[in-house]
A and B are shown apart, each in its own frame.
Chain A
Amino acid sequence: MTPTKTPPSSFDEFLDGIWKQNPIFVMVLGMCPTLAVTVSAVNAISMGLATTFVLGMSCMLVSMLRSAIPKQVRIASYIVIIATFVTVVDYAIQAISLDLYEALGAYIKLIVANCVLLGRAEAHAAKNPPLPATFNALGMGLGFTLGLFMIGCVREILGAGKLFGVALFGDHFQPWVVMVLPPGGFFVLAFWLIVFAAFRHFGNKRNAQLQGAQP
């Protein structure tokens, strides 16, 4: 299972989740943790990694069991598989860092209800062999983590004047408190969505121009 042995398609699928099909900015899935825990960069990253772990493990298991699970009860089975790994992560985080556990609160358990997970299990893992499924899931998870991190950074810098708990500005910095409050989450997410839309818009335009220029 070394990365070098995987066919190129697996790697493409891995990258897909990070950029082209980024769960947050392109597919707009899993909004609850996206907005709720991104008050600081550390929280955002740990939430992202926890989700990545659950996503990778459950997609691997779903993909291994894909011929054994009857079609009628597949959603229920996926949810039970996901809930199992969420419980594992919940207890692991509690054992590793109690502070983090208290900061993330019930949102760790709420990973179960993250649409990215069920979406991946249903749309990809249930139709593909374990290796590509896991790679795709890990890519999605990392894309999710990246998205959370980008939102968390902006909110922490603007709302608290810090990054990773280190003060960035002088004593005169007046924190933009609304950024760490709920509305700030919406605004920062909207801002990133616009940035991504602009990237896609101008990218498409340039591609169209390039194709038009070719005889």
Chain B
Amino acid sequence: MKTCLVVDDSSVIRKVARRILEGLEFSIEEAEDGEQALDACRRKLPEAILLDWNMPKMDGYEFLRLLRRMPGGDGPKVVFCTTENDVAHIARALHAGANEYIMKPFDKEIVEAKFQEVGLI
């Protein structure tokens, strides 16, 4: 079973994402911000990361930049999942190494389509 790290400061979003991704047969880890997410990745790199942008302590963009510099950090497929839905943010995310991008609000079909697009399912 593949693991997905869900990184979002909203417990509601984490809960919704968990329900969708468990339905797609992922094992779920959770983090509330970029720092917690980095700690989780240092312990064990997941196959997938669903990543919010705006979070306290360390935002998703900064986390992604640091992740991609870690040994093996280019492995996980990173799918941003954020309310930042303008072209400039999307371009920055892709430049920093994101594999896909979900604009909130989202539903199961969107998550499934994006994960399929990057070869996770």
Specify whether A and B are partners.
Answer: no
Interface residues of B (CB under 8 A from A): none
Interface residues of A (CB under 8 A from B): none
